[in-house]
Amino acid sequence: MLELYGTRFTSRMLLGTAGYASPDILRQAVEASGAEIVTVSLRRESARARTGQGFWALIEQLGRRVLPNTAGCHTAKEPIATAQMARELFGTNWIKLEVIANDDTLQPDLFGLVEAAGVLCAEGFAVLPYTTEDMSAAERLIAAGCEVLMPWGSPIGSARGLANRSALQTLRAYFPDTPLIVDAGIGAPSHAAEAMEMGYDGVLLNTAVAKAGDPVKMAEGFASAIKAGRLAYEAGMIEPRDMASPSTPLAGTPFFKIDHAS
């Protein structure tokens, strides 16, 4: 079971809500995924009042926890103001913290991220920061009060999967007791399963489901992959080998000689 800021969830999949062809497809995809947390950009929804009201009504019907995010913010001050508005609008102190450094890669601004996280944690927010695999940034975010880290797999919407697998493994090993959720760059269920097999606690994705030919089937596929990856991690996978290893040992195996002359 996934536990974030003292709240337990049966699903380890977090689903974004942007880019779906219709509200009904979004609803079906959320239901098929089993996700109990859905993210929404406050700026996108507040900029289109009717859409925002319709989205909030849909989320209320689904009974999911809404995780507002600070998408589109480029300085430490912007996400702080956005988070404060989100708390009033959605009635939650949970916030997915994004501070973007580069518009082409959408890479997090680690300096602004740590600064904003420190302010928001001090104000009582449950901060889920979108970060990189950088170890020093991870240490500073935890020191600032973050109880969860969400390192990217690869750039948002790129569908490249886990671009720096070894760094993600190091991050997992270095912070064994901190919930780690891969956020961004996941393009296929196999990418999600790989992250879960490495011991990550969850996966947050959006584009891979919203832009799929059949978002509902894709959501279900991701849910199965995440569950399978977690089960494999908990079961304990065998280590890869350079040489073959017979599943049936040769030692002690009886050999029968056939006498063709008889």
Write down the pLDDT at residue 125.
Answer: 97
* CATH number for the domain that contains residue 118: 3.20.20.70
Angle at 186 between CA 74 and CA 152, to 5 degrees: 40
Write down the pLDDT at residue 44.
Answer: 46
Decide if 207 is inside a domain: yes
Decide if 184 is inside a domain: yes
Write down the pLDDT at residue 59.
Answer: 74
Q: Sheet containing 202-205: which strands, arranged edge to edge?
A: 150-151, 126-131, 94-97, 65-69, 37-41, 13-16, 202-205, 181-183
Could you confirm whether 227 is annotated as catalytic? no
Q: Has 102 been labeled as part of a binding site?
A: no
Decide if 246 is inside a domain: no
Token digits of residue 114: 């740590």
Q: Has 34 been labeled as part of a binding site?
A: no
Write down the pLDDT at residue 238.
Answer: 85
Residue 231 amino acid letter: L
Weakest-pLDDT range from 53-57, 82-86, 190-194, 241-245: 53-57
Number of domains composing the chain: 1
Decide if 242 is inside a domain: no
Give residue 34's region: left, alpha or beta (phi > 0; psi -120 to 50). Answer: left
Decide if 23 is inside a domain: yes
Q: Has 157 been labeled as part of a binding site?
A: yes
Write down the pLDDT at residue 241.
Answer: 82
Q: Has 72 been labeled as part of a binding site?
A: no
Weakest-pLDDT range from 102-106, 110-114, 174-178: 102-106
Write down the pLDDT at residue 45.
Answer: 46
- Residue 190: is its pLDDT beyond 50? yes
Among 77, 96, 211, 217, the active-site one is: 96
Token digits of residue 246: 């017979």
Distance in angstroms (rounded) separating the CA atoms of residues 4 and 171: 18
Q: How confident is the model at residue 177 (pLDDT cuts 50, 70, 90)?
A: very high
Write down the pLDDT at residue 52.
Answer: 53
Q: How many other CB atoms are there within 10 angstroms of residue 217's CB atom?
A: 14
Q: Has 164 been labeled as part of a binding site?
A: no
**Contact yes or no for 188/162 (Cβ under 8 A):** no
Task: Between 139 and 72, name the one with better pLDDT.
Answer: 139
Decide if 260 is inside a domain: no
- Identify the domain containing residue 81 by its residue range: 2-235
Decide if 167 is inside a domain: yes
Decide if 252 is inside a domain: no
Average pLDDT of the chain is 89
pLDDT above 70 coverage of the chain, percent: 89
